[in-house]
Amino acid sequence: MGTFDEFIAELEAEARAEGPEAAAELEAFRLHFSLARQLAAQRRALHLTQKQLAERTGIDQAEISRIERGQANATTATLGALTRALGVDVRLVPLS
């Protein structure tokens, strides 16, 4: 068994071999989990529990957990509430 980076590289190679649709699906997957990781990291950086964040935002703690694990697609309203409470912003950034 290889490293996680090797696993990801293998997934990317498979997606490229399958064609543009598979590559786009993998990129969407990557972006989805990137946002989830960033939200969780910011919450932890502020020393907040999911319960505390839930109290600040009015969003169910279970929903915050699902979002952070990448198992839920947050609405723009939910993202807005979370980012305001975490003191961050969501922006569109051109791909390099």
Q: What is the pLDDT of residues 33-86, one digit of tens each?
A: 888 889 999 999 999 999 999 999 999 999 999 999 888 989 999 999 999 999
Residue 47's domain spans which residues? 4-86
The token pair at 85 is 């409470």
Give the domain CATH number at 19: 1.10.260.40
Q: Average pLDDT for residues 21-34, to the nearest whole number?
A: 82
C-alpha 81/C-alpha 15 separation (Å) is 34
Q: Note whether residue 53 is domain-resident.
A: yes
Burial class from Cβ neighbours inside 10 Å (0-12, 13-18, 19+) for residue 67 reads buried
Residue 41, in any domain of the structure: yes
Q: Which band of pLDDT confidence, cut at 50, 70 and 90, is reported for residue 1?
A: low
Domain count, the chain: 1
Domain membership flag for residue 93: no
pLDDT band at 29 (very low <50, low <70, confident <90, very high): confident
pLDDT of residue 84: 97
Whether residue 72 lies inside any domain: the answer is yes
- The alpha carbon dihedral of 56, 62, 65, 70 has a sign of negative
* Model confidence, pTM: 0.72
Residue 14 covered by a domain: yes
The CA distance from 27 to 37, in Å, is: 15
Residue 23 has pLDDT above 70, yes or no: yes
Token code pair at residue 3: 């490293």
Is residue 52 in some structural domain? yes
